[in-house]
Amino acid sequence: MSASILEVEHLGKTVSDATGELTILHDISFHLQARESVAIVGASGSGKSTLLALLAGLDTPTHGAVRLQGQDLYALDEDARAALRAAHVGFVFQNFQLLSNLTALENVMLPLELRGDREARSQAQAMLERVGLGQRLYHYPRVLSGGEQQRVALARAFVQRPALLLADEPTGSLDFATGAQVMALMFELNREAGTTLVMVTHDLAIAERCERQLRIEAGRLVVPPRQPAAAPATGHA
């Protein structure tokens, strides 16, 4: 059995407004193994994206713990969480989150430069070529199609060789055919890099390509009932 890379224990999130308190997530617990691929599914408003933000250390839970490679995210201050993310976590977002004033190459180089990698340019170029954008190195996001922008985002995420990749509706802004191509590429890159993938998606066909599915309903993790064991065969063949 692989070591657990992500451990979520009794995670909860409650917010307050003028109408009172609202619990977004109730007592969520699960562990993920290295190289595992997991889809988080559920209706809009069920708490999927809040859970993903908590897994990334981008939001603060009301209670519970998230441990990334044994390190409790919420025992760290904000700067230390940011450093842990930079070292171990990649992100792919629905709206790409590319910097508009940087070329495709510069967008992919950025996380490498931030950690002081002297080979940032060559590594970024190689990754853009891997995702089929070797001819788009010096193009800005505004002149790239949606599919091309998401390929740049994939290159930026995987060039760091993250231990954990968090993807939030990665095909949500793409048409069906382009989305299918992007997802095929993402799963290929994930296998090549040996990354643990956690993906929020509303698309059950995409979710079924993952090894596990975690369903969130009204902020609660719903564990599907175990299927009854098949009855033993009787008689003679």
Q: Which CATH number fits the domain that encloses residue 84?
A: 3.40.50.300
The pLDDT value recorded for residue 86 is 87
159 closest CA partner among 197, 207, 199, 192 = 192
Instruction: Please report which confidence band the pLDDT of residue 150 belongs to, taking 50, 70 and 90 as the band edges.
Output: very high
The pLDDT value recorded for residue 189 is 93
In-domain check, residue 233? no
Decide if pLDDT at 133 tops 90: yes
DSSP 8-class letter at 227: P
In-domain check, residue 227? no
Q: Which domain holds residue 92?
A: 4-222
In-domain check, residue 236? no
- pTM here is 0.86
Q: Which residues pair with 39 in a beta bridge?
A: 199, 213
DSSP 8-class letter at 2: P
Q: Determine contact, residues 29/67, Cβ cutoff 8 Å.
A: no
78: burial class by Cβ within 10 Å (0-12, 13-18, 19+)?
exposed
Q: How many domains is the chain built from?
A: 1
The pLDDT value recorded for residue 223 is 65
Decide if pLDDT at 222 tops 80: yes
Radius of gyration of the chain (CA): 19
Decide if pLDDT at 2 tops 80: no
| Mean residue pLDDT across the chain | 90
Q: Determine contact, residues 90/166, Cβ cutoff 8 Å.
A: yes
In-domain check, residue 190? yes
The pLDDT value recorded for residue 221 is 93
Decide if pLDDT at 96 tops 70: yes
Proportion of the chain above pLDDT 90, given as a percent: 75
In-domain check, residue 87? yes
Handedness of CA 106, 107, 111, 112 (dihedral sign): negative
Decide if pLDDT at 79 tops 90: yes
Average pLDDT for 38-62: 92
Query: What is the spatial distance between Cα 138 and Cα 200, in angstroms, rounded to a whole number?
Result: 31
Decide if pLDDT at 121 tops 90: yes
